[in-house]
Amino acid sequence: MRRLIAYTFLTIIVSCFFFPFEFTFLPGVNLKMALAAIGLYMAVVTFARQRKNEFSRIFLGVVTGALLVSLVSFASCVLNNTNDFVYVTYIVSFAVWTSAAYACSRIIRLVHGNCTTNLIGNYLIAVCVMQCVLALFIDFSPVFKNIVDSYIVNIFDVSDEDRLYGIGASLDVAGTRFAAILLIITAFLKKNGQRMSTGRVFLYFSAFLFITIIGNMIARTTTVGVALSVLYLIVNWLFTNDSCKQRRVIRIGVLTLGLFSGIAVLFYFISPQFEANIRFAFEGFFSLAEKGRWETTSNDMLMNMWVWPDNLKTWIIGDGYMGGAAFDPNFIGDPKMINYYMNTDIGYCRFIFYFGVIGLIVFITFFALCAINCIYIDRRYRLLFMFFFLLNCLVWIKVTTDIFPVFAFYFCAEKCVENKE
C-alpha cells in the first residue's frame, strides 16, 4: 500500500513538471517553477557533497546551444529595434525545465533507489494516461469540470472550446508530448516486449491505444506520434531482423487493438458526446470515408499560412517579431490571427520571421545536441532519441511547440553502463 501511495504521488509530481499549471488562488506561481527551485536546491546540495563535476562535455554543448538561441534572438531584436523577447530568455526557460526535471529525478531516486531511462519512460506514460482519464472526467462530468475550471489555470484556456483538455494538458503542447510518449511505448515494446509478461505487454499496448484515441481528442498532433511509431518499427525491423521473436507481442497487440476498437465503436453509437469527440479526433479519416478525400479544419487553415519573407535581411536575421500585434504596432492582418506575426502559426515560418535562417539553424542544432546527449546517457535507446529529434522537427511544420521537457527529463537519467543491445 505504501508503494502504491508513493508511486501515485510520484506520478502527480511528474505531471506537475510535464504539464505545468497554476492555481487560481496563487496566480503567477507555476508548479514547474516551484519544482525548478527545489531542483536547484537539490543540485547545489548534491554537488557540494560529492565535490565532483558530473556534467559531460556534450551536456555543456547543449547549454551552449541554448545560450546561442538566446543570443541570436537578442541580436534579431536589437537589429530590428523590437522588444519581442520571447526567445531571448530561452536560456532561462532551459534552466527552469532542466532544474525541474532534476527535482523529479531526485525524488524518483528516493523512492526507487535509481532513476533509469526505463523508469522515466514509465512515469511519463503513466502521466499521459492519467491526463487522458482526467480529460474524460472533465468532459463528461460538469461538476468535476466546474471544480477544475474554478481552481486550475491551464497554460492555454480551452474551457470554452469544443475539445477535451486535462489539467495543464491541452492543445498542441499536449499533443506533441503525447506523440513523444507513444514513441517511448513503441521503443519499450520493440526492445523488451519478448521478455515482458503477457499482462505487461497488454498494459503497454492499452496505454498506446488509449493515449492515441483520447490524446487525439485533446490535440490531433498526437497522430504524428502514431505515424512515427510505425516508421520506428519499420526502421528497427530493417536493421534487426528479429520479427520472429515478436510474434507473441504482435498477437497481444492485435487482440488489444480489437478490444479497444470494439469499445470505441460501442461508445460511438451509444454516446453522442463520445461520437462528437471521436469525429473531431479522427476528422480526416471520417472525411476520407464519407467524402472520398482527406479534409480537416486545421489542415485547411495550415495550407493558407505558408508565408515567407520578401527580403534578404529577414531571411538572414528575421524581423524580431514572434507575438504578432502584441508587439507589432503596425499589424494589419486578420483579427483572428492577432497573436501571430504575418498571420502564420506555422513553426518554421514564425522562426524565420523571428530570428531568420541563422536562428533556425542554431535552434535545430540545439535539439540535435539534446538527442546526442541522451544517446550518450543510454545508447540502447539511441533510435528513440533520434526519433525525438525527428518528431520535434516535424511538429514545427504546424506549430512552434517543442519537446525539450522530454529531453530534459532524460538528461537526468543515470548513465547506462551496459551499452550492448
The predicted-structure confidence for 78-105, as pLDDT tens digits, reads as follows 998 888 888 999 999 999 999 999 999 9
Specify the pLDDT at position 284.
74
Beta bridge partners, 153, equal 22
Specify the pLDDT at position 243.
55
Q: Please say if the pLDDT value at position 334 is more than 60.
A: no
Specify the pLDDT at position 335.
47
Burial of 190 (0-12, 13-18, 19+ CB in 10 A): buried
For every residue of the chain, which 3-state class applies, written as one string?
CHHHHHHHHHHHHHHHHHCCCEECCCCCCCHHHHHHHHHHHHHHHHHHHHCCCCCCHHHHHHHHHHHHHHHHHHHHHHHHCCCCCCCCCHHHHHHHHHHHHHHHHHHHHHHHCCCCHHHHHHHHHHHHHHHHHHHHHHHHCHHHHHHHHHHEECCCCCCCCCCCCCCCCCHHHHHHHHHHHHHHHHHHHHHHHHHCCHHHHHHHHHHHHHHHHHHHHHCCCHHHHHHHHHHHHHHHHHHHCCHHHHHHHHHHHHHHHHHHHHHHHHHHHHCHHHHHHHHHHCHHHHHHHHHCCCCCHHHHHHHCCCCCCCCHHHHHHCCCCCCHHHCCCCCCCCHHHCCCHHHCCCHHHHHHHHHHHHHHHHHHHHHHHHHHHHHHHCHHHHHHHHHHHHHHHHHCCCCCCCCHHHHHHHHCCCCCCCCCC
Which residues, at least 6 apart from 173, have a Cβ–Cβ distance to it below 8 Å? 155, 156, 219, 401
Band of the pLDDT at 368, cuts 50, 70, 90?
very high
Burial of 210 (0-12, 13-18, 19+ CB in 10 A): middle
Q: Please say if the pLDDT value at position 420 is more than 50.
A: no
Question: What is the chain's mean pLDDT, rounded?
Answer: 83
Specify the pLDDT at position 295.
67
Q: Which three three-digit cell numbers place residue 249? A: 507481442
Q: 235-270 in b/e burial notation, b at 16+ Cβ within 10 A?
A: ebeeeeeeeeebeebeebbeebeeebeeeeeeeeee
Q: Please say if the pLDDT value at position 65 is more than 50.
A: yes
Specify the pLDDT at position 240.
66
Band of the pLDDT at 333, cuts 50, 70, 90?
very low
Q: Please say if the pLDDT value at position 328 is more than 70.
A: no
Percent of all residues in the chain with a pLDDT value above 70, rounded to a whole number: 86
Cα gap 18→320, rounded to integer Å: 29
- Which pLDDT tens digit goes with each residue over 234-288? 887 776 665 556 778 888 888 988 898 888 888 888 888 888 888 887 777 777 7
Q: Please say if the pLDDT value at position 50 is more than 80.
A: no
Q: Please say if the pLDDT value at position 306 is more than 80.
A: yes
Is pLDDT larger for residue 382 or for residue 332?
382
Is pLDDT larger for residue 59 or for residue 228?
228
- Which pLDDT tens digit goes with each residue over 19-28? 988 887 777 6
Is pLDDT larger for residue 127 or for residue 398?
127
Cα gap 72→63, rounded to integer Å: 14
The arithmetic mean of pLDDT across residues 46-71, rounded, is 80
For residue 35, which amino acid is it? L
Cα angle 231-175-413, degrees, rounded to a multiple of 5: 75
Q: Please say if the pLDDT value at position 160 is more than 60.
A: no
Which residues, at least 6 apart from 411, have a Cβ–Cβ distance to it below 8 Å? 59, 62, 98, 101, 370, 373, 374, 377
- CA atoms within 13 Å, Cβ hemisphere of 2: 2
On whether the CB atoms of residues 348 and 106 are closer than 8 A, the answer is: no
On whether the CB atoms of residues 83 and 76 are closer than 8 A, the answer is: no
Is pLDDT larger for residue 173 or for residue 335?
173
Residue whose C-alpha cell is 533507489:
113
Specify the pLDDT at position 245.
61
Specify the pLDDT at position 212.
92
The arithmetic mean of pLDDT across residues 367-375, rounded, is 93
Q: 398-410 in b/e burial notation, b at 16+ Cβ within 10 A?
A: bbbbbbbbbbbbb
Q: Please say if the pLDDT value at position 153 is more than 50.
A: yes
Specify the pLDDT at position 242.
59
Q: Which three three-digit cell numbers place residue 147? A: 471544480
Q: 5-42 in b/e burial notation, b at 16+ Cβ within 10 A?
A: eeeeebbebbbbbbbbbbeeeeeeebbbebbbebbbeb
Q: Please say if the pLDDT value at position 165 is more than 90.
A: no
Is pLDDT larger for residue 381 or for residue 287?
381
Band of the pLDDT at 146, cuts 50, 70, 90?
confident
Band of the pLDDT at 170, cuts 50, 70, 90?
confident
Percent of all residues in the chain with a pLDDT value above 90, rounded to a whole number: 33
Specify the pLDDT at position 331.
47
Specify the pLDDT at position 45.
79
